[in-house]
Structure formats: structure tokens, C-alpha cells
Amino acid sequence: MKKLIRGVIKLCVASAVLSAVIYASSESFSRRWREFIIGQMAERGLHMDLKRLMLNPFGGLIARDVKVFTGADRLHVLASVDELNLDFDYGKLLEKMFVVDGLELSHASVSLPVDDPEGGEHTVITLEDLSARAFLREGVLEVRQAQGTLSGIRLNITGLLTLPGKKVDEPPKAKVDSLSVSEQIKVINAHHRRIQRGVEWLNRFEFDTPPQVRLEVNGDLGRPQELSARLFFEAMGLRYGTYVCEDLLAEAEYKAGLIDLTRLIIKDPTGQVNGSATWRMGTPDLRFQLTSSADLPGLAQAFLNSDNLREIVFYGTPHLALNGVWYVDGPMAQGKRPVQATGRLDCGRFSTRGAVFDGLEANIGVSPEGVYIRDMLLKHETGTLTAQALSHEAEGFRYRAVLRMDPNAFLPFAKMPQTREIISRFQFNPKSNIYFEVEGSGPKADLQLCLNKGRGDLRNFRYRGVDMEMMQADVEFQGPIQHYRNAKIQRAEGVGEVAHVHVDDKEKWVRLEGIRSKLDPVAVTSCFAPKVADIIAKYRLPKTTAVELDGLIYYKDPTRNDFNVSFRHSSGTGRYVLWGEDYLISAPQGELSFKGHDMKFDIRGRLFGEALSAKGRVDLAPGTNDFSVLVNAGEFPYEIFGKDLPFDQVKADVSSRGSTTYFDVKSSLLGGAFSLKGTLNERLQPQSYEGELMLDGVSFLRLTQIYSKTNDTEGDITGHFRFAGRMNDWMSLKGGGAATILNGNLYAVPILGPLTPILGSVLPGQIKGYNVAKAADCTFEVADGFIVTKNIEATTSVFRIAMGGKIDFIRDAVDLTAQVRIRGIPGLVFLPFSELLEYRGTGAISDTQWKSNLLSGNRKTTERAPPSAANMEEAERIARDSLPLKKEEPKKSGSIFNRPGGR
């Protein structure tokens, strides 16, 4: 029976519990108690709404889809909670009073709305896995160990908050102050936006372990601007790109709208950052102090999202100290530099863009209006750079600097290729001394846009490969425009002065004014016009030659050149190349005038003790060889057949057009006249030539004695030779001509001279003066290395010699036949013996052996075959009409030039 009663009781209890559970889960229970709890919480200062309310079998009530509002009007949501446990006081419940005395969250999700003040998209901050317990006692909400996750950050929140409920001893207010409520909403929403921005900023980083945040909050929820809070943030193993932070620790306090960052510590493998800051909410400026010995490029990239320092590698620890204001709100916060700060930077050895520097020191200042640098000292192995600079938004950029280091260290930082080219012209060594003081101003911090002025003093260096002991100049430059004034250049041989050099690197020209020097003309000219220096180098002038340069040089478009170069030296010597030979000129002076590719020149001096002048022009265009030159020389010895002939009063007119060179040379020679004219074709290889050589009244005695001092003859020689051939190929020489000798001793000359003793043994001794010729002339052809003649005729008062044959001038061999004929009555006597007076000459030109034809036989005198008939015809044709140049009439009427065909 007892078992039955116990079973009935258990069934009743179970039924009651089941009924209670069913009722608690019913819509009737939720609706009845929902309004009651909402009202109870509103009286205690918590304005909320919930969609569903259920009885928790283990105690309390479960509220689903809860929204907490900022005020009684329920217009602005403060937070949303998916599930909230409400604990009530069972003692009060026995007194028929329902009082909620605790709130509990278990792995709940809480959303904080964020409104864009500019009307943008509505966003939400979500706290996940939030577990918390809070107690409501006498208008105070005590939060104990609220733990959750916010975007991977572990939160631990505690606090003691006074609820904005109505107090008993306060009279009721007639109406709600809507303005104060609106301000409260703005403050709360501003808090949410800052939380959101902070979370977004932290999401840029990677962490080895989740960051930890501890937050202690105290104050009156009715006055959110007067809340107080303490925040502790700690993270380990923070990474951003290549930057690694070992520890990050921050402590901050909030009280009555004042945020005080009491401690900020960032540790990385390089060093540590220590900082602090204060900010009163609602004000635009945040005051901060910062010292750093950490990785500055990594910090800038990681925390400021700036990679401006990424190219810098520090070999030592850089030290940075800053103190100032950071504008976090208002118009200044939107500028390029929302900072007003001063500080100092000290760092040791570092490298950037391949350039290595030994250190940097600077006092710096930053403001929204600009940036200034004071007492900057940049150290390099070659020297230092000191500078002061100011960059202002309204006033522009100003600076002053003193350079005492090799400027080539700045090549990697030069933006314009023109700037790099200018810097690279200078080469310095350990003995160099550099001093360049410059200042400038412009619209912004870009030297290309600034007007820069200064003075340079350089010692022991090279400029464009030229050694310089010293260079001083006033310098002015802006963008591609440069001016060098009052320059002074010193080298071992002397000093040069420059009035003005104006450079336009955009149009690619340089204007030279007043360049005067007694320096190496090649070295000085190469500083401004390297191509002109190459031309002057051909003259090999003394290094102390006075040089003057003036005019406009386009170094990229020489067709627009217009400048002059002059040089002179009163006692030195120079060289002039003519016809492939170097000639030494004493007291050289000259002028070179350039207009486009056209160069005119006028060179003067003394050659072989006599006056020399060379005037002409040259086309310097690539691929051309056009020129013309007129040379006048008082004396001009020139080698012919191994001996120098004393040409004087020489006038040579040489020109080249296309591939053809024309020459026309006239001079006096040994009391007579000499001329040579013709052409040289440079298109063919080997080069071909043709021309005409003329002699008129040249002293035969003086001519022969040049080649043999023992020759003793009289008279003069007149003749001409028309020719054609190829350079350095005597076998190709072809042509012909004629020659005559008047009043000469024929037998004192080579070839004929050895015939004298033979004639003396045959002719009667009473015939006197037989060896003085009244006239001698001949015609000849040249081909295949032979001089061929058939009509050499020499006439004396009593006999004449008729001679013919060939002379091999390549092998120095002759093969001639001579016949002596007695004139007048003695000739009749000797007629039967005429064969005895025929001779054959063989051997060398200078040692011809003559023998009677009866004794000579038919012995061959040369192994080479004589010229062919075709080559002889070609030589005769050239002698007749190959040269189109006008011939001058001979001075002597008795010469053979009066004969038809030049014969």
C-alpha cells in the first residue's frame, strides 16, 4: 500500500513538473511574463525588449533575442544578445515580489551596432562565445568575469556600473531632455566606431597566440562620457609581412572622457619602442611621447601602413624620439600630416638603394603645414652632408646644404637621367677635397623644381676623365637648366677661366661664354665639347696653349651647333697632318668655327722656318668625308724617290666631295715651277688616282745634285706626265708625257753619264764642247713598272744622240739603245762607221753599263716581260686625254709642250 501511495505521489509531482514545464514553454507564459520583466528592468534603468521568455528548469528565466536600448524611447539599439539568463530573488518571490537580481550569459553572441555618421552602411561588432555573470543590486550592475572573443581577440571584462534608473528621493522630471539623450547616443556610437576601427586595424596582423584584452569599467551608464575604465592589452608573436614583434603591451585608462595611454611597449629583435599618450574625447588632438630603438622600417610598414623606409637597411640600432600632438579628429585629421611633433633621429651605419652611409643625425619637426629638418648631418666614407630644410604647404620648400662628400653616392636617388649624367661626370679619390654650398627654394621638396644657387670648390678630382687640381664656380640650376659662372679651373700646366656656361639638358645644348685658358686645349675643350676636343687633339698642341671657346653646342643634335674655338701659342709647336704626313708647326695659332656639321678652320704658324697657313672647311656629318683646304707654305720639303725636294712658295688646294679627292698643287722648285693636279677615288680599294705633273724651267744642275753630289751639269728641265694608277701599286701606274732639257751637260746625269768616256775614245779630240747639249727632249709612256721611250734626242753643236728603250723602275734596271750621229761635214766622214757609234745600255739606273752594239749581242737584260701592247695603248690614251683638268701654258716657248699632243 505504501508503495502505491509513493507511486501516486511521484506521478503527481512529475505531472505537476511536466505541466509547469509545458506552461513555461507556452506562448501564454512568455506573453504574460515578458511584459512584466521588461517593465521591471525599465524601472531599474535597463531598457530592453525580448521576443521569447522561458522558464529555466534549473532556475531562473531564459530570455531569447534580447535587445538593449539606450533610452526609454527605444529608438537606438545599444546591444543585441541571442540568449540571456535572468536570475530572480526567491525570497522576494515568496513575498509575492518578482525581482531580477542577476544576468548570466553562457557562450552567447552579442552584437553592437555601428552607425555611419555620414549615412553610410550600417555595420555590427560581434562578440562571440561570451560568458558572463552580472548582478543587479540597488541600481548597480556588477559585471564579474565576462569572457569572450572579438575578432580573434580574447576579452576579459569586469566592472561596476550605475544604472540610469529613477531615484526615490528625486522629483520626476516633466519631460525627457531629448538633446542629452541624442548626445549620449552619439557618444556610445562613437565608442562603437572606435572599437570597430581598432579591430579592423588589429586584423592586419598575425599572432602566434590570440591577443589578450582586460577591461575594467566603472561609472554611471546614464553619463557614458563620465565612465572610467582601465584597459590592458598584450600580444605575443605579432607579424606583419617581414616584420616580427616579440611582445606588444599597452595599458590605458579612461576617465571622464580622458584617455591616458600610460604605457606602450613594443619589442622586436632590433630594439624596443616606449610610448605614452593622452587624449580627451571630443577634442581633435592626441598628445604623445615616443622613443624607439626598434626596426624603424618594419614599424612604419606594420603600424603606419607606410613603406617609405622599406628600402633602408640599418646595420646598427636607430634611435628616434618624438614628442607632440596627433590629430585624430577634425579637419586636420584629414590632411597628409595629422601630426604636430618635434623630435630627433640618430642612427649608425645604414644602406639604401645600394649606397652605404656611416650615419645620420637630425632634429625633425612635423606639422600639418609642413616638415622641417634642422642640423642634419649625413656621414659617408668620403665626407659629410649638412643641411637645413623646410617644406611648407603654403610657403613651399626651402633648404640650405653644404656638401663635403662624393656626390656619386646620391646617384641611386636621382630621378632624372640628366641629373645622373651630370653627377657621373665627376670622379673623386681619397685625396679629393669637396666643398659645395647650395641653397634653394621651390613649390615642393623636389630639387628639379627648385631654383638652386651655390658655390663649389673642388680639389684633386677628375671631370669627364680630365685631371683637375682645382675647380671653383658659382652654380645655379633648376630642372634641366644649369648655369656655371665665374668659374676657375686649375691644372698642373696653368689656370683657366670661364665667364658663363649655360646648359639646357631638355633641349640638349650648352652655351659657352668667355672661356679663356692656358691649359691643355684638349682637356679643357673635352669638359664642354668632347667631339671638338677630338678634333683639336689631332694638332697635338702644347698643354700651355691659350684656348678660347664661345658659342652654342648641341650635344645631341650637332646640326644646330654654332660656336668658335681659337688657340695660340707663341713659342710652342703643334702638328698638322697633310697627305698622310705629320708636320711640325712652330708658334701655332688658329680658329675653328662650327655651324651645324660644317667646320671652318684657319691654322697659322711657321713650317720649316717659313710662314704656313691652312684654311678650309670640313663636313663633320657621320658617314661623310667632304672637305676643302688651301695650304700656303713658304717652304715644304717633300720626299720623292728617297730624297727631299725643296719645294717653296707652295700653294696646295685639296678638296673631297663624296668619295673623290681633288688636288691642285703649285710651287716653285729649284728656280722653276712645279704643279701637280689630279683626283683620288676613295670608293675603290685600293684607292685609284689620276693626274698630271708639270715641271717648267727647273734647274737641272740642282735637281741632279740632290740625287748625286758628283753630277755636274747645267741647264734646266721642262716636262709633263699624265698618269693613272692605284695607291701602293707601282705596277698599276700608267700614263705618258714629255720632257726637254736645255743647255745641259747630258753626260753628267745618270744613264747618259757613263757614255761619256766611250764617246771620248771614239770621237776626234779636236771636236770640243761635244758634251754640252743645245737641247734634249723625249716622249715616254709608263706601264707595268716600265718607262718606255723611243725618241730621246740630245743635240750638241757637233753631234746628236738618239736613244730608245725601256727602264724597269721597279727592279732598277735599264735596257736602252743609243745611236750617236755626227753633224755637218764630219758626219760624212764617220758615216761608214755609224754602226760603231751605236751602243746598248744595261744595268742599274745609277750605274748604267754601255757597250757597243757590235759587242753586246742580243743578251737579255731583264727577266720581266715588257708591257703588253694593250697596256701601252692604255698608257698612250691616258697621256692624251685622261685628265679633265685645265693645264697651264708653259713659260718657255722652246719647250716641247708646244708640240701637238704634248710630244
pLDDT digits (tens, 9 = 90+) for 310-367: 788 888 889 999 999 988 888 888 878 889 999 999 999 999 888 999 999 999 999 9
Question: In DSSP terms, which residues pair with 326 in a beta bridge?
Answer: 286, 339
In the predicted structure, residue 670 carries a pLDDT above the cut 50: yes
Determine phi and psi for 188, rounding to 5 degrees. Answer: -65, -45
More confident residue, 754 or 657: 657
The residues near 698 (Cβ < 8 Å, ≥ 6 apart) are 669, 670, 671, 672, 673, 674, 716, 717, 718
- The grid coordinates listed for 83 are 540568449
Q: How far apart are CA 379 and CA 575, in angstroms?
A: 49
CA-CA-CA-CA dihedral for 65, 71, 72, 77, to nearest 10 = -30
Question: At 100, which amino acid appears?
Answer: V
The residues near 103 (Cβ < 8 Å, ≥ 6 apart) are 84, 85, 86, 87, 132, 133, 134, 135, 136, 141
> Closest Cα to residue 752, out of 849, 623, 625?
849
SS3 669: strand
What is the model's pLDDT at position 392? 92
Q: Say if CB 524 and CB 517 are below 8 A apart.
A: yes
Task: Give the helix/strand (H/E) hosting 21.
Answer: helix 2-24
SS3 245: strand
Q: Say if CB 358 and CB 380 are below 8 A apart.
A: yes
> Closest Cα to residue 66, out of 38, 88, 24, 31?
38
In the predicted structure, residue 557 carries a pLDDT above the cut 80: yes
SS3 226: helix
What is the model's pLDDT at position 824? 53
Q: How far is CA 175 from CA 27, 38, 45, 305, 827, in A?
A: 35, 21, 16, 49, 169
Q: How many helices (H) and strands (E) does the chain have?
A: 13, 48
Query: Cell 671638338 belongs to which residue?
Result: 532
> Closest Cα to residue 63, out of 94, 36, 43?
36
CA-CA-CA-CA dihedral for 486, 492, 493, 496, to nearest 10 = -10
> Closest Cα to residue 616, out of 631, 595, 604?
631
Q: How far apart are CA 660 and CA 489, in angstroms?
A: 44
Residue 178's pLDDT band (boundaries 50, 70, 90)? very low
Residue 772's pLDDT band (boundaries 50, 70, 90)? low
More confident residue, 476 or 880: 476
Question: At 168, which amino acid appears?
Answer: V
Percentage of residues in the chain with pLDDT exceeding 90? Answer: 31
Residue 748's pLDDT band (boundaries 50, 70, 90)? low
Peptide bond into 686 cis (omega under 30): yes
> Closest Cα to residue 516, out of 499, 536, 538, 530?
499
* Per-residue pLDDT tens digits for 124-165: 777 888 888 888 777 788 888 788 888 888 989 888 888 766
Q: Say if CB 215 and CB 229 are below 8 A apart.
A: yes
What is the model's pLDDT at position 23? 42
Q: Say if CB 127 and CB 144 are below 8 A apart.
A: no
More confident residue, 174 or 759: 759
In the predicted structure, residue 785 carries a pLDDT above the cut 80: yes
State the alpha helices, DSSP H only, in 612-713.
700-707
Q: Say if CB 108 and CB 80 are below 8 A apart.
A: no
Question: In DSSP terms, which residues pair with 753 in a beta bridge?
Answer: none
Q: Say if CB 720 and CB 752 are below 8 A apart.
A: no
Across residues 604-613, what is the average pLDDT?
Answer: 92
Q: How far apart are CA 545 and CA 236, in angstroms?
A: 76
Distance of CA 657 to the CA centre of its chain: 39
Residue 756's pLDDT band (boundaries 50, 70, 90)? low
Half-sphere exposure of 780 (CA within 13 A, CB side): 25
In the predicted structure, residue 403 carries a pLDDT above the cut 50: yes
Q: How far apart are CA 79 and CA 100, in angstroms?
A: 19
Q: Say if CB 715 and CB 701 are below 8 A apart.
A: yes
Q: Say if CB 565 and CB 592 are below 8 A apart.
A: yes
27-41, 238-252, 728-742: range with lowest mean pLDDT: 27-41
State the alpha helices, DSSP H only, in 691-819.
700-707, 756-762
Domain ranges of the chain: 21-165+179-197, 730-902
Across residues 4-18, what is the average pLDDT?
Answer: 48
Question: In DSSP terms, which residues pair with 454 in a beta bridge?
Answer: 438, 475
Across residues 183-205, what is the average pLDDT?
Answer: 72
SS3 200: helix
State the alpha helices, DSSP H only, in 111-249.
178-202
What is the model's pLDDT at position 14? 46
Sequential DSSP letters for 31-93: HHHHHHHHHHHHHTT-EEEEEEEEE-TTSSEEEEEEEEESSTT--SEEEEEEEEEEEE-HHHH
- The grid coordinates listed for 531 are 667631339
Highest mean pLDDT among 262-266, 527-531, 837-841: 262-266
What is the model's pLDDT at position 691? 93
Largest CA distance in the chain: 205
Residue 683's pLDDT band (boundaries 50, 70, 90)? confident
Distance of CA 422 to the CA centre of its chain: 8
What is the model's pLDDT at position 119? 58
Across residues 78-91, what is the average pLDDT?
Answer: 72
Across residues 591-604, what is the average pLDDT?
Answer: 92
Burial class (CB within 10 angstroms; exposed 0-12, middle 13-18, buried 19+) of 137: exposed
SS3 286: strand
State the alpha helices, DSSP H only, in 670-802.
700-707, 756-762
Task: Give the helix/strand (H/E) hosting 731.
Answer: strand 729-745
Q: How far apart are CA 181 and CA 164, in angstroms?
A: 12
Query: Cell 626598434 belongs to which residue?
Result: 294
Q: How far apart are CA 642 and CA 846, in angstroms?
A: 14
Give the strand pairing for 509-517 and 546-554: antiparallel
What is the model's pLDDT at position 450? 93
State the alpha helices, DSSP H only, in 658-815.
700-707, 756-762
Q: How far is CA 20 from CA 55, 87, 94, in A?
A: 9, 18, 18
Residue 860's pLDDT band (boundaries 50, 70, 90)? low
Give the strand pairing for 61-69 and 77-88: antiparallel
Q: Say if CB 838 and CB 818 are below 8 A apart.
A: yes
Sequential DSSP letters for 377-390: EEEETTEEEEEEEE
Q: How far apart are CA 73 and CA 177, in angstroms?
A: 12
Q: How far apart are CA 103 and CA 789, in angstroms?
A: 142
Across residues 520-548, what is the average pLDDT?
Answer: 84
State the alpha helices, DSSP H only, in 839-868.
853-856
CB atoms within 10 A of CB 203: 11
Q: How far apart are CA 870 and CA 123, in angstroms?
A: 110
In the predicted structure, residue 784 carries a pLDDT above the cut 80: yes
Task: Give the helix/strand (H/E) hosting 726.
Answer: strand 716-726
Mean pLDDT over the full length of the chain: 80
What is the model's pLDDT at position 736? 92
pTM for this structure? 0.68
